[in-house]
């Protein structure tokens, strides 16, 4: 007798192979048999007739490092079929963070309202807190370069000394020994942007020695797009580890041809056998903190000092001059009417409105509008969020069509209740898997259903080196999803981004049911990966 048998489902094994009708037996957290018909008894059986059965989705790019501590049920992820999260992306993360106040600045998704302690001198301490008492999803944590550099050098815009580099290498080694899946960078952001290739190769090599991957938000996806990709390829090449290039779509104002960038990546894969993956979220809109519209010198500091600057009329005037420069990042993306508020505890009624409209409501100019929005949430200013144009629809589609492109959220786990109630990073946090399947698989028919599932299961599993995950195979972990294709529905909108989708009937993590017919079991069977 086994624990569970799923019968008569349309099986999508995660490889892209054609669906077939069969049964799956689960025992002690693993798939023990998968065949046309299983002749044995089980403690429980699930009739999946007319439904699709596939591996649980793997979100290879998330910023859920902290929100998982605030809500261990990972509601917004589980309810869209996600069973594994890769955290610590873009060089942002909660550990190591011996400099507590500075550390908050490089932890996307941190909020004072979570009422959780911040500050772990060592990565192992963070992991202990994260996995005790447990999680509803698996987590593969990356050690973030930004946190490490901040802990050793602060915001110093220079190469590290020999001693500083050795200290950073020790942090990476310690984190990898504790169970990190790899090393991440955010080279478009401070302090990561201050690192040169020698520093990055040295640190990435430490992760590689432990079998880890290198995941990078590259330095620039606009004016020096090709140069930034080549830099990342050189790091991957010299460090000798698999690489993952995050949300690789060119900026809408990029002056380099996307075809040539992609060709360079494929040449490195085909001619040098470099292991390189890419990913994107399925949306032309991207999230970001409102405060980052301001010059970096305003917000790169401890929260108290940042708030002091934000309250200074002189700083407001200096920033006003910045927005009159036609090369300003904001203006290059289309102007204030192209930026929309997505998260504000103080102004929830303005969520979904663009900054031009908000300026008119406030009765102040654009610069003062930004300051007013940011200041309203006090020390939580970093979580006042916006959405802006990420890519053209043509570039996004071209990226999605790449066979090496995984689909990710660039989001956080959240929930419409408790300490996460007002915490909305982007719509993808609630629905990216459903939106991808509905828009690009079902409606536009850019992919077969089998290929669409592969891009969210075995492809990210292989890219992140998650063994025994991402496929329905005997002896693989029983991370299993059952869904009704005709009932799939994305219930989010731009002005109401906090809504669970329809169509997900069952979610299993390591053989335990965490979601059944819309009800979360509150089970915490998640594991740290790779294990």
Give the pLDDT band (50/70/90) at residue 358: very high
Q: What is the mean pLDDT of residues 81-102?
A: 86
Distances (CA, A) of 363 to 72, 158, 294, 357, 369: 41, 42, 20, 10, 9
The per-residue pLDDT for range 11-23, each reduced to its tens digit, is 999 999 999 999 9
Res 326: pLDDT: 56
Residue 426 has pLDDT above 90, yes or no: no
Q: Which of 98-102, 103-107, 199-203, 356-360 has the lowest mean pLDDT?
A: 103-107
Give the model's pLDDT for residue 235: 98
Q: According to CATH, where is 3.20.20.140 located in the chain? A: 57-284+390-463
Model confidence at 174, pLDDT cuts 50, 70, 90, reads very high
Q: CATH 2.30.40.10 in the chain, residues?
A: 2-54+469-520
Q: What would the two tokens of residue 115 be?
A: 């009422």
Q: What pLDDT sits at residue 99? A: 67
What pLDDT is stored for residue 277 in this prediction? 98
Structure confidence at residue 115 (pLDDT) = 72
- The pLDDT score that the predictor gives to residue 121 is 84
Q: What was the pLDDT predicted at 329?
A: 63
| Lowest-pLDDT choice from 85-89, 163-167, 335-339 | 335-339
> Mean pLDDT across the stretch 186-212?
95
Band (102; pLDDT cuts 50, 70, 90): low
Peptide bond preceding 284: is omega within 30 degrees of 0, i.e. cis?
no
Percent of the chain predicted with pLDDT > 70: 96
Per DSSP, 411 falls in state B
**Residues 340, 342, 346, 347: is their CA dihedral positive or negative?**
positive
pLDDT of amino acid 454: 98
Summarize pLDDT for 377-413 with one digit per residue, the tens.
988 888 898 998 889 999 999 999 999 999 999 999 9
What's the pLDDT at 383? 82
pLDDT at 433: 98
Percent of the chain at pLDDT > 90 equals 76
The CATH number given to 57-284+390-463 is 3.20.20.140
| CATH fold for the domain made of 2-54+469-520 | Urease, subunit C; domain 1 (2.30.40)
Cα separation of the two ends of the chain: 27
21-37: b (≥16 Cβ within 10 Å) or e:
ebbbbbbebbbbbbeee
């Amino acid at each position: 007798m086994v624990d569970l048998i799923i019968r008569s489902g349309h099986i999508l094994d995660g490889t892209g192979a054609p669906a077939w009708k069969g049964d799956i037996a689960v025992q002690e957290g693993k798939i023990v048999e998968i065949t046309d018909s299983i002749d044995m008894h089980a403690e429980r059986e699930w009739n999946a007739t007319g439904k699709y059965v596939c591996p649980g989705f793997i979100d290879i790019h998330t910023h859920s490092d902290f929100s998982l501590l605030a809500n261990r049920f990972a509601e917004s992820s589980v309810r869209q079929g996600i069973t594994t999260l890769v955290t610590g992306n873009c060089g942002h993360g909660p550990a190591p963070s011996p400099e507590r106040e500075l550390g908050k600045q490089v932890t996307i998704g941190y909020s004072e309202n979570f009422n959780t302690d911040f500050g772990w001198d060592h990565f192992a301490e963070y992991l202990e807190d994260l996995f005790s008492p447990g999680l509803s999803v698996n987590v593969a944590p990356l050690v973030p370069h930004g946190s490490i550099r901040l802990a050793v050098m602060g915001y110093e815009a220079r190469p590290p000394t020999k001693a500083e580099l050795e200290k950073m290498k020790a942090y990476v080694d310690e984190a990898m020994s504790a169970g990190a899946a790899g090393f991440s960078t955010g080279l478009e952001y401070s302090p990561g942007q201050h690192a040169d290739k020698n520093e990055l190769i040295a640190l990435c090599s430490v992760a590689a020695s432990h079998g880890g991957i290198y995941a990078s938000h590259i330095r620039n996806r606009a004016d020096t797009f090709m140069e930034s990709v080549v830099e990342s390829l050189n790091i991957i090449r010299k460090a000798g580890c698999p690489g993952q290039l995050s949300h690789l779509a060119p900026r809408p104002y990029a002056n380099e041809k996307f075809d040539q960038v992609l060709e360079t990546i494929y040449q490195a894969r085909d001619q040098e056998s470099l292991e390189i993956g890419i990913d994107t979220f399925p949306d032309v809109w991207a999230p970001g903190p409102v405060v980052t519209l301001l010059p970096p010198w305003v917000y790169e500091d401890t929260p108290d000092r940042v708030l002091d600057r934000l309250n200074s009329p002189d700083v407001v005037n200096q920033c006003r001059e910045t927005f009159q420069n036609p090369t300003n990042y904001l203006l290059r993306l289309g102007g204030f009417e192209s930026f929309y508020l997505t998260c504000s505890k103080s102004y929830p009624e303005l969520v979904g409105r663009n900054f031009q409209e908000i300026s008119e409501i406030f009765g102040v100019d654009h610069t003062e509008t930004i300051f007013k929005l940011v200041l309203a949430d006090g020390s939580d200013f970093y979580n006042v969020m916006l959405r802006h144009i990420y890519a053209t629809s043509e570039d996004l589609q071209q990226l999605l069509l790449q066979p090496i492109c995984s689909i990710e959220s660039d989001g956080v786990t959240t929930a419409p209740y408790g300490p996460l109630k007002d915490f909305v990073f982007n719509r993808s946090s609630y629905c990216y898997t459903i939106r991808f399947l509905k828009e690009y698989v079902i409606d536009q028919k850019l992919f077969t259903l089998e290929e669409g599932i592969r891009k969210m299961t075995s492809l990210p599993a292989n890219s992140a080196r998650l063994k025994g995950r991402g496929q329905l195979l005997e002896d693989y972990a029983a991370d299993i999803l059952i869904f009704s294709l005709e009932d799939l529905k994305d219930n989010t909108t731009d002005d109401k981004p906090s809504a669970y989708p329809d169509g997900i009937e069952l979610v299993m993590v390591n053989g335990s049911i965490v979601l059944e017919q819309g009800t979360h079991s509150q089970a915490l069977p998640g594991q740290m990966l790779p294990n």
